[in-house]
C-alpha cells in the first residue's frame, strides 16, 4: 500500500505551497480530501500501476470531515501504512496580515471576523496538530525558503535518512515551535555590545571568531557535537523522518547564528546533511535593542 503524507495546518500558513512542492517531486497530490475517504484513495493507489506515495491536503473548510481523523490515521498505521503528518502554522498576527494583504476570505470567517475564524480553526485542528510528525512555523519564512525546506526533507526521505534541520532563533521573539531539541547560548559573551560587531550577523567572520573563540564556546561546541553524535543515530533508529535542533540567543542575530553554522560543519564531517535556517534573518542588518 502507498505511504501517505498528510499536509494540514492553518489557512494562509502555506499548505498549498507544501503540496505544490510535493507534486513537483513526483508525489501524487490532492487537496481538501475528506479524511474518511483516505483509505479508499490508498486502496485505489495500489492498483495495477501502484502509486508509492500520496500527499493529501486536509484543512478545516469542512470541520465535520476532521472529527474521525485520529481514528482513520490510527487504523491506517495499524494496517502497516506509513502516515506522516506535516502541520503548517504561523502566528495569528502574521496570518491576519497575510489575509489583509491578499484580501482573500478566510474559509471560516462567515461573519467577517477574521481573528475569531483563526481562533476557531486552531481549535478544530488542535488534535491533528498534536499528532504531527513535522511542524513548520512559516511566520518568518519566505516562500522560496519553505519550498526548499520541503524539497530537502522529502529528498532525504527518499534516501531513507532522517532529515536534520538546525535553526537559530532569538528568545526575545519566542522559542521556535517546531524544535525537538533546544539549546541556549545566552551564556556566551554578546557581540551586540561590541560597536564594530553590533550591525553584523553571526555569519560574518569577525562575529564568528568573537563567538567561537571564547573558551566556553569551544567547550560547549565540543559537548554539543558529542551529544548529537550519540543522539542522532538513536533517533534515526526509531524511524523518525525529521529532527529539528534549535539554538537560541537573545536576538537571534549573533551567537546562535555562529553556533548553528559551526555545528552544521561538525555534523557534515560526521556524515550528516543538515539544512540551516536563521529564523530572525529578516530582522538584519538593523538589530533591535537587546536587554539581558
- Is residue 174 a contact partner of residue 49, using CB atoms and an 8 Å limit? no
What are the structural domains of the chain? 3-159 (3.40.50.300), 163-283 (no CATH)
User: CB of 222 within 8 A of CB of 276?
Assistant: no
Task: Tell me the average pLDDT across 115-126.
Answer: 88
pLDDT score at 24: 83
Average pLDDT over residues 106-125: 83
Q: Tell me: the pLDDT tens digits for 247-263? A: 999 999 999 999 999 99
202 or 158, greater pLDDT: 202
Is the confidence at residue 216, as pLDDT, over 90?
yes
Stretch among 64-68, 84-88, 190-194 having the lowest mean pLDDT: 64-68
64 band by pLDDT with thresholds 50, 70 and 90: low
Q: What is the mean pLDDT of residues 183-195?
A: 95
Q: Is the pLDDT of residue 158 over 70?
A: no
pLDDT at 120: 87
> Alpha-carbon distance 51 to 45, whole Å?
5
Q: What is the percentage of the chain residues whose pLDDT exceeds 90?
A: 36
| 243 and 180 Cβ atoms separated by less than 8 Å | yes
Burial 27-57 (b: 16+ CB within 10 A, else e): bbbebebbbeebbebbeebeeeeebebbbbb
Residue of higher predicted confidence among 108 and 189: 189
The top-scoring range by mean pLDDT among 26-40, 123-137, 150-164, 184-198 is 184-198
Radius of gyration in angstroms for the set of CA atoms belonging to the chain, rounded to a whole number: 21
From edge to edge, which strands make up the β-sheet containing 28-30? 28-30, 53-57, 3-9, 83-89, 134-137
Q: How confident is the model at residue 291 (pLDDT cuts 50, 70, 90)?
A: very low
Amino acid at each position: 500500500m502507498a505511504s501517505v503524507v498528510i499536509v494540514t495546518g492553518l489557512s494562509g500558513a502555506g499548505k498549498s505551497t507544501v503540496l505544490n512542492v510535493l507534486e513537483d517531486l513526483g508525489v501524487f497530490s490532492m487537496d481538501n480530501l475528506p479524511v474518511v475517504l483516505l483509505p479508499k484513495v490508498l486502496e485505489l493507489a495500489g492498483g495495477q500501476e501502484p502509486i508509492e506515495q500520496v500527499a493529501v491536503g486536509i484543512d478545516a473548510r469542512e470541520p465535520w470531515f476532521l472529527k474521525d481523523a485520529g481514528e482513520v490515521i490510527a487504523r491506517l498505521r495499524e494496517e502497516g501504512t506509513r502516515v506522516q503528518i506535516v502541520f503548517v502554522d504561523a502566528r495569528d498576527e502574521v496570518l491576519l496580515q497575510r489575509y489583509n494583504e491578499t484580501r482573500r476570505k478566510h474559509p471560516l470567517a462567515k461573519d467577517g471576523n477574521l481573528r475569531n475564524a483563526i481562533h476557531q480553526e486552531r481549535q478544530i485542528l488542535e488534535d491533528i496538530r498534536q499528532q504531527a510528525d513535522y511542524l513548520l512555523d512559516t511566520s518568518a519564512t519566505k516562500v522560496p525558503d519553505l519550498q526548499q525546506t520541503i524539497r530537502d526533507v522529502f529528498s532525504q526521505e527518499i534516501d531513507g535518512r532522517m532529515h536534520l534541520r538546525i535553526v537559530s532563533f532569538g528568545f526575545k521573539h519566542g522559542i521556535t515551535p517546531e524544535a525537538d531539541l533546544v539549546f541556549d547560548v545566552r551564556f556566551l559573551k554578546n557581540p551586540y555590545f561590541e560597536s564594530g560587531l553590533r550591525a553584523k550577523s553571526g555569519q560574518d567572520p569577525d562575529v564568528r571568531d568573537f563567538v567561537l573563540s571564547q573558551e566556553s564556546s569551544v567547550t560547549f561546541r565540543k559537548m554539543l557535537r558529542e551529544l548529537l553524535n550519540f543522539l542522532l543515530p538513536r533517533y534515526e533508529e526509531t524511524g523518525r523522518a525529521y529532527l529539528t535542533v534549535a539554538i537560541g540567543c537573545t536576538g537571534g542575530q549573533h551567537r546562535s547564528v555562529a553556533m548553528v553554522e559551526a555545528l552544521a560543519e561538525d555534523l557534515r564531517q560526521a556524515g550528516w546533511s543538515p539544512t540551516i535556517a536563521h529564523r530572525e534573518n529578516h530582522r538584519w542588518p538593523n538589530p533591535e535593542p537587546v536587554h539581558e
